[in-house]
Structure 1
Amino acid sequence: MSTLVEAVEDPPVQETDRSPRRTWKSGLTTVGLPVLSVIVFGALWQLAAVSGTWSETFVPYPSTVWNAFVNTMTTHDGVRGYQGYLLWEHLYMTLRRVLVGVVIGVGLGVLLGLAMGSVKWVRSLLEPWLTFLRALPPLAYFFLLVIWLGIDEAPKITLLALAALPPTAVATTAAVVAAPLSLIEAARALGASRAQVIRDVVIPSALPETFTGIRLSVGMAYSAVVAAELFNGIPGIGGMVKDASNYNNTPVVLVGIFAIGFSGLIIDGLLRVAERRAVPWRGKV
C-alpha cells in the first residue's frame, strides 16, 4: 500500500519542481529572445552607420533617429513636432483612419464570408471579384478614389476598408465551408433551423479562421496607410513619412516607420488576447 501511495504522490512533487524551470524558460523565450533580437539589430545598425559605407541620408545613426523622435514629440526652437503636429497626434489620426476602415472592411468581409460559405451561387458570383480586388495594389485604385471622392477622409477610409475586406471575406468563407458536417447534420436532426445551425454551429467553428482573417486585414490596412495618406495626409503617420521623404529626411521617415510598426505589434497583441478569450478551445496562439 505504501508503495502505491508513493507512486501516486511522486508525480505532483516532480511537476512542482519542474514548474519554476519551465516558467523561466518560457519567460526567456517570450521576452528574452525578442529583446536580444532588438539589441543585435541596434548593434548592426550602429556598425553600418559607423562604417561609412553609406551616407547618413541612407543610413543615419541611431542617435540621429532618436533625436528626430524627440523633436517630433516635443516643441523645439518654436517648432511644434512635425508640420505643427506632435508624433502622437499623427499616430492618433492614422489609427483612427485604420480603425474606421478596418471596422467597415471586416464587418462587410464577415457578412460576405458567411453568405459565400453558406450559399454556393453567391460564392461563385463574388469570389472572382474578391480575388481581383485582393490582387490589386492600393495605389492602383487610390487615385480613382480621389477622383470620385475628393481628397478628404472619404478616399482614405474607403481605401483602408477595401484593403481590409478581402482577407476577412476569404478566411470566413473557407472557415464556413470547412464547418464540421457531422455537427451540422446533428443540429438539423435535433430540429434546428438554418439560422440556428449558422448561429450555433457554423459561426463558432468559423471563429478561429475569422480571427486570422481579421489579423491579416489589419496588416493589409496598415500596409496601405502611406498610400491612403498621400493626399492631405497631415496629420497622419503616412502623411508625415511621405512629406519627410520629399526632403530626404530619413530620420523622420524611420520614426514614422517605427511608429507604424510598434503600434501594429500592439494592436496584433490585443487581437491575440481577444482571440484567446473568444476562442479558448483553440489554445495559445
Structure 2
Amino acid sequence: MSTTPPLSKPGTTEPPADVPPQRPFAGRHMWARTRPVLLPAASLLVFLLLWQLLAASGTWSETLLPPPAKVWDACVTVSTTHEGVRGYNGTYLVEHLGISLRRIAIGAGIGIAFGVLFGLLMGTVGWLRALFEPWITFLRTLPPLAYFSLLVIWLGINEEPKITLLAVAAFPPVAVSTTTAVAAVPRSLTEAARALGASRWNVVTDVVVPSALPETLTGVRLAVGVAYSSLVAAELVNGLPGIGGMVKDAANYNNTPVVLVGIITIGVSGLIIDGLLLRLERAVVPWRGRA
C-alpha cells in the first residue's frame, strides 16, 4: 500500500503540516487595548510639564499662574479641615460639587423634558414648528448672563433663578435636535405603519420616537454641556455653597489656586457625566452607526 500523502490541489498554498500557524503580533493587541488610557495619560503629563515650566520661568507671577503643586495644595485644603477651617467657606469641595450637580440635575432635567416634548410637537405638527421655532432660535442665541439679572429681579436670589437659568439654557439644544430628528423620519415608515392600522399615537410611539431617539440623545448631551457651561453664571449671585459660587468668590480675592481647583473640578466632572451619557446612548440605541 502506498504511503505517499495526497497532492495539494493546483493553485493552493497550504503550509506544511509541521509548520505551526502564525499568531498575530501580541504587542499590537496590547497597544490597541491600552491606547485609550495611555494617550490621554501622556497628554496630561505633557500638559502638567508645560504648566510647571511656564510657572517656573517667572514670566507671570504666582498670583496669575500658580504652579501645579500650589493648585494641588489648594485642592487638599478645600477638601479637608485645615487649621480649624472646614473646606472653603465652611463646605468641602465634594459638597460644593454635589450642590451644583443637584442644581444642574433639576434645571437641566426640566429643560430636557420640555425640549423633548416641544421637539415632538413641532416635528409632527407643522404650524407649531412655524410658531415656536423662531422663539427657540432667539432663546438659543442669548448668552445666560443676558437674562440672569432679569431672573434675579423676578425670582429673587435663592435657588429659583439658578435652576431656571439652567433649564432655559438646556431647553433649546434638545428642542432643536428633536424637532430635526422627528421631521427627518422617512415618510415611508409612517405610511407603512398607518397602512397596517396603527393609530396616530402608535405611529409616534412605535415609529417616530425610535427613529428620532439617536439625535434626541445627542441633543441631551449638548444640553447638559450647555448647562455646565452656564453653571458659573447661574451661581454668580448667592452661589455659595456651590462649585461655581466657589470659583466666583475665590476670584474676588485673587485666590487663583482655588479658582483653578474649581475649574478643573467642573471640567473633570463634566467629562465623567458626558461619558456616562455616551454609554447610556450606546445602550439605548445600539443600532446607531450600524444600520
Shorter chain as normaliser: what TM range?
A: over 0.9
1:186 matched to which residue of 2?
192
Q: CA deviation at 1:25?
A: 3.4
Q: CA deviation at 1:33?
A: 1.0
**Percent of aligned pairs with the same residue?**
64
2:84 matched to which residue of 1?
78
- Residues in 1 aligned to 2:134 and 2:66: alpha-carbon distance in whole angstroms: 45
- Residues in 2 aligned to 1:125 and 1:275: alpha-carbon distance in whole angstroms: 31
Unpaired stretches in structure 2, ≥5 consecutive residues:
1-5, 15-19
1:63 matched to which residue of 2?
69
Higher helix share: 1
- Residues in 2 aligned to 1:21 and 1:173: alpha-carbon distance in whole angstroms: 47
SS at match of 2:287: helix
Q: Is the alpha carbon distance of 1:123 and 1:23 closer, same or farther for their aligned partners in structure 2, counting shifts above 3 Å? A: farther
Q: Which of 152, 162, 165 is the equivalent residue of 1:156?
A: 162
**How many residues of Structure 1 are paired with residues of Structure 2 in the alignment?**
278
TM-score, reference length from structure 1: 0.93
Q: Is the alpha carbon distance of 1:153 and 1:20 closer, same or farther for their aligned partners in structure 2, counting shifts above 3 Å? A: farther
Q: CA deviation at 1:17?
A: 4.1
- Contact preservation (8 Å) 1:179, 1:206: yes
Q: CA deviation at 1:26?
A: 2.9
- Residues in 2 aligned to 1:98 and 1:56: alpha-carbon distance in whole angstroms: 33
- Residues in 2 aligned to 1:162 and 1:253: alpha-carbon distance in whole angstroms: 26
2:46 matched to which residue of 1?
40
Q: CA deviation at 1:32?
A: 1.2
1:87 matched to which residue of 2?
93
Q: CA deviation at 1:6?
A: 9.6
Q: Which of 240, 263, 279 is the equivalent residue of 1:257?
A: 263
Q: CA deviation at 1:29?
A: 3.0
SS at match of 1:259: helix
For residues 115-143 of structure 1, what are the alpha-carbon distances to aligned partners after superposition, in whole Å with 9 as ceiling and x for unaligned? 01001100000001111101000000001
Q: Which of 110, 119, 136 is the equivalent residue of 2:116?
A: 110
Q: Is the alpha carbon distance of 1:158 and 1:64 closer, same or farther for their aligned partners in structure 2, counting shifts above 3 Å? A: same
Q: CA deviation at 1:194?
A: 1.1
- Residues in 1 aligned to 2:121 and 2:13: alpha-carbon distance in whole angstroms: 59
Please identify the structure whose Cα radius of gyration is greater: 2
- Residues in 2 aligned to 1:260 and 1:172: alpha-carbon distance in whole angstroms: 27
- Residues in 1 aligned to 2:27 and 2:176: alpha-carbon distance in whole angstroms: 42
Aligned pair 1:242/2:248, yes or no? yes
Runs of 4+ residues deviating >6 angstroms: 1-7
For residues 38-61 of structure 1, what are the alpha-carbon distances to aligned partners after superposition, in whole Å with 9 as ceiling and x for unaligned? 011101100100111111111100
SS at match of 1:58: coil
Q: Is the alpha carbon distance of 1:96 and 1:52 closer, same or farther for their aligned partners in structure 2, counting shifts above 3 Å? A: same
- Residues in 2 aligned to 1:21 and 1:99: alpha-carbon distance in whole angstroms: 43
**Amino acid in structure 2 at the alignment position of 1:171:** S
Q: Which of 137, 146, 149 is the equivalent residue of 1:143?
A: 149
For residues 235-276 of structure 1, what are the alpha-carbon distances to aligned partners after superposition, in whole Å with 9 as ceiling and x for unaligned? 100000000000010000000001100000110011011001
2:284 matched to which residue of 1?
278
**Amino acid in structure 2 at the alignment position of 1:259:** T
1:10 matched to which residue of 2?
none
For residues 181-201 of structure 1, what are the alpha-carbon distances to aligned partners after superposition, in whole Å with 9 as ceiling and x for unaligned? 221121111111111111111
Aligned pair 1:176/2:182, yes or no? yes
For residues 82-138 of structure 1, what are the alpha-carbon distances to aligned partners after superposition, in whole Å with 9 as ceiling and x for unaligned? 000000000000000000011100000000000010011000000011111010000
1:199 matched to which residue of 2?
205
2:232 matched to which residue of 1?
226
For residues 151-195 of structure 1, what are the alpha-carbon distances to aligned partners after superposition, in whole Å with 9 as ceiling and x for unaligned? 000000000000000000000001001112221121111111111
2:219 matched to which residue of 1?
213
TM-score, reference length from structure 2: 0.91
Q: Is the alpha carbon distance of 1:5 and 1:217 closer, same or farther for their aligned partners in structure 2, counting shifts above 3 Å? A: farther
Unpaired stretches in structure 1, ≥5 consecutive residues:
8-12
- Contact preservation (8 Å) 1:276, 1:283: no
